[in-house]
């Protein structure tokens, strides 16, 4: 085997948020952490090599993203998502969350409504609140653990003359593939959403950080790639950070076809974010030009992890329902038939069984009774976590009897 995703690498004492901050977050310093969305394996060898080469040079002054890097990104976006972009649409940043912040500040004013679709990645919620904008929550519909966009509710909320935030909704913050529910949105769904964006003169800010993690017949389609009209009203956010496990190198990019929107984005960004990180940009170029073989091997391993997890749950803990990920490496577990409070769930799992997942209520109210589990880890860790969850569920069920 060319790449060994089974290898256990000790990440403790490496300033890893996932492994070293569990004492601060969950009051437990030695546990199996399957919460934060990064992977537990080494990045692609091509990326390691490129960084080593750059380190060897020894001079790390101010840097900037090269034209060649833009060309490499353009090729990746074309070959992976069939989208023809122009190099001057690409704007670099130090992360997708900072770019969400920048987009909101550039395109809306305090008091404006921002549409989000909960349950969703926490910074979607906190960024809207922290910037003084108002959340317009278009909750996803849960059809027996298959999540869908509630288009009727979205239209209703946008037509709501009585609610100030809805009247002033300016921006739809979209997550594709969706964290935590793992949906890869279909073309028909995206077309419907785009139509609503255009009819209501919104801007679509689409967080596509998980776009390289899609399985089976699912295909990631950037919403903005579907028509010239929607491209003109959009910001698409992407990064190699999840794909190649280099989140600590803080590098991402936005695709902004409309010049006016791009200039607004840049006018905020240039005052907040520097020109770039040498190692992040070096890694990005190596990833998108030479990392595809490693990525395909990683995807195969994660897909097998997903199968392993769903088989285990079906056979051993059928009371736990799950949304089988079409994309991302995260699985959204529904414990509501035994317990409704995610914090209690997670606390008990951490304290008594040494496993930390991510409490569902961090993703909004509709996440109560859910936990999100990260499957980008060696299978032996997943087995250990599932065995602990099984014991925990048994104990809770016994207490009910
Ligand atoms: C949907 C989504 N967006 C953004 C991020 C973080 O992006 P960044 O580290 O580039 O700020 C994550 C990380 O988990 C995520 O899941």
User: Which strand (E) or helix (H) includes residue 105?
Assistant: helix 96-107
Sheet strands (E) in 127-200? 134-137, 141-143, 146-148, 169-175
User: What local confidence, expressed as pLDDT, does residue 156 receive?
Assistant: 95
Q: How much is the average pLDDT of 228-246?
A: 98
**Least reliable range by pLDDT among 58-72, 171-185, 341-355, 382-396:** 341-355
User: What local confidence, expressed as pLDDT, does residue 275 receive?
Assistant: 81
Q: Helix (H) and strand (E) counts for the chain?
A: 15, 15
For the chain, percent of residues with pLDDT exceeding 70 = 98
Q: How much is the average pLDDT of 5-21?
A: 97
Q: How much is the average pLDDT of 225-229?
A: 98
User: What local confidence, expressed as pLDDT, does residue 400 receive?
Assistant: 67
Confidence band (pLDDT; 50, 70, 90) for 322? very high
User: What local confidence, expressed as pLDDT, does residue 165 receive?
Assistant: 66
Kindly give the distance from the C-alpha atom of residue 96 to the centroid of ligand 1, in angstroms, as a whole number: 6
121, 184, 238, 375, best to mutate for ligand 1 pocket (most atoms within 8 Å of CB): 121
User: What local confidence, expressed as pLDDT, does residue 271 receive?
Assistant: 79
Atom of ligand 1 nearest to the CA of 120: 1
pLDDT digits (tens, 9 = 90+) for 138-169: 999 999 999 999 999 999 999 987 777 666 89
Of 10, 9, 35, the C-alpha closest to 22 is 35
User: What local confidence, expressed as pLDDT, does residue 98 receive?
Assistant: 97
Q: Can the peptide bond before residue 177 be classed as cis, meaning omega within 30 degrees of 0?
A: yes
pLDDT digits (tens, 9 = 90+) for 346-371: 899 999 999 999 999 999 999 999 99
**Least reliable range by pLDDT among 87-96, 124-133, 139-148, 341-350:** 341-350
Q: How much is the average pLDDT of 214-231?
A: 98
User: What local confidence, expressed as pLDDT, does residue 308 receive?
Assistant: 98
Locus of tokens 């739809």: 172
Q: Ligand 1: which residue has its CA nearest to atom 13?
A: 37
User: What local confidence, expressed as pLDDT, does residue 161 receive?
Assistant: 72
Rounded CA-CA distance 189/177 in Å is 12
Kindly give the distance from the C-alpha atom of residue 21 to the centroid of ligand 1, in angstroms, as a whole number: 18
Q: How much is the average pLDDT of 281-292?
A: 98
User: What local confidence, expressed as pLDDT, does residue 401 receive?
Assistant: 62
Locus of tokens 């009727």: 152
Residue 398 confidence (pLDDT) above 90: no
User: Can you read off the two tokens belonging to residue 203?
Assistant: 């801007």
Confidence band (pLDDT; 50, 70, 90) for 281? very high
Give bridge partners of residue 356 from the DSSP assignment. Answer: 33
Q: How much is the average pLDDT of 71-86?
A: 98
Atom of ligand 1 nearest to the CA of 252: 10
Atom of ligand 1 nearest to the CA of 175: 1
Rounded CA-CA distance 176/220 in Å is 8
Q: How much is the average pLDDT of 375-392?
A: 98
Confidence band (pLDDT; 50, 70, 90) for 342? confident
pLDDT digits (tens, 9 = 90+) for 171-220: 999 999 999 999 999 999 999 999 999 999 999 999 999 999 999 999 99
Cβ neighbours around 101 below 10 Å, total: 22
For the chain, percent of residues with pLDDT exceeding 90 = 91
Binding-site residues, ligand 1, Cβ < 6 A = 37, 95-97, 121, 175, 179, 207, 209, 239, 241, 247, 252
Answer for the pair 118, 180: CB distance below 8 angstroms, yes or no: no
Q: Which domains does the chain have, with CATH numbers?
A: 17-44+293-400 (3.90.1150.10), 59-290 (3.40.640.10)
Q: Give the alpha-carbon dihedral of 374, 375, 376, 380, to 10 degrees.
A: 120
35, 38, 179, best to mutate for ligand 1 pocket (most atoms within 8 Å of CB): 179
Q: How much is the average pLDDT of 20-31?
A: 94
Confidence band (pLDDT; 50, 70, 90) for 397? confident
Give bridge partners of residue 91 from the DSSP assignment. Answer: 254
Kindly give the distance from the C-alpha atom of residue 209 to the centroid of ligand 1, in angstroms, as a whole number: 6
Rounded CA-CA distance 64/316 in Å is 52
Answer for the pair 41, 380: CB distance below 8 angstroms, yes or no: no
Kindly give the distance from the C-alpha atom of residue 249 to the centroid of ligand 1, in angstroms, as a whole number: 13
Q: How much is the average pLDDT of 279-306?
A: 98
């Amino acid at each position: 085997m060319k790449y060994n995703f089974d290898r256990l690498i000790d990440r403790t004492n490496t300033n890893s948020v996932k492994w070293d901050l569990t004492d601060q977050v969950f009051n437990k310093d030695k546990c199996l952490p399957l919460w934060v969305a990064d992977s537990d394996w080494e990045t692609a060898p091509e990326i390691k090599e490129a960084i080593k080469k750059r380190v060897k040079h020894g001079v790390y002054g101010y840097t900037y993203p090269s034209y060649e890097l833009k060309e490499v990104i353009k090729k990746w976006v074309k070959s992976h998502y069939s989208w023809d972009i122009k190099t001057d649409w690409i704007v670099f940043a130090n992360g997708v969350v900072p770019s969400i912040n920048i987009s909101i500040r550039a395109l809306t004013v305090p008091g404006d409504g921002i549409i989000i679709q909960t349950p969703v990645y926490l910074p979607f919620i906190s960024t809207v609140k922290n910037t003084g904008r108002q959340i317009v929550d278009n909750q996803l519909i849960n059809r027996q653990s298959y999540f869908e966009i509630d288009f009727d509710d979205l239209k209703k909320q946008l037509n709501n003359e009585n609610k100030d935030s809805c009247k002033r909704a300016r921006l739809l913050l979209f997550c594709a593939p969706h964290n935590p529910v793992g949906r890869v949105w279909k073309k028909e769904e995206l077309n419907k959403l785009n139509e609503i964006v255009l009819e209501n003169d919104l801007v679509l800010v689409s967080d596509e950080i998980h776009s390289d993690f899609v399985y089976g017949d699912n295909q990631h389609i950037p919403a903005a790639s579907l028509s010239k009209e929607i491209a003109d009203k959009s910001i698409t956010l992407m990064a190699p950070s999840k794909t190649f496990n280099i989140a600590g190198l803080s590098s991402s990019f936005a695709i902004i076809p409309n010049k006016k929107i791009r200039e607004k984005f840049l006018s905020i960004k240039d005052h907040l974010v520097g020109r770039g990180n040498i190692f992040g940009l070096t890694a990005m170029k190596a990833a998108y030009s030479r990392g595809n073989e490693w990525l395909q091997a990683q995807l195969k391993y994660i897909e097998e992890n997903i199968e392993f997890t769903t088989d285990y749950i079906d056979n051993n803990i059928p009371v736990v329902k799950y949304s089988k990920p079409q994309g991302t490496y995260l699985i959204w577990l529904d414990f509501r038939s035994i317990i409704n409070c995610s914090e209690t769930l997670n606390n008990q799992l951490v304290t008594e069984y040494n496993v930390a997942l991510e409490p569902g209520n961090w993703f909004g109210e509709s996440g109560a009774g859910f936990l999100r589990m990260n499957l980008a880890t060696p299978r032996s860790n997943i087995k250990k976590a599932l065995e602990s969850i099984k014991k925990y569920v048994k104990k809770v069920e016994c207490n009910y009897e």
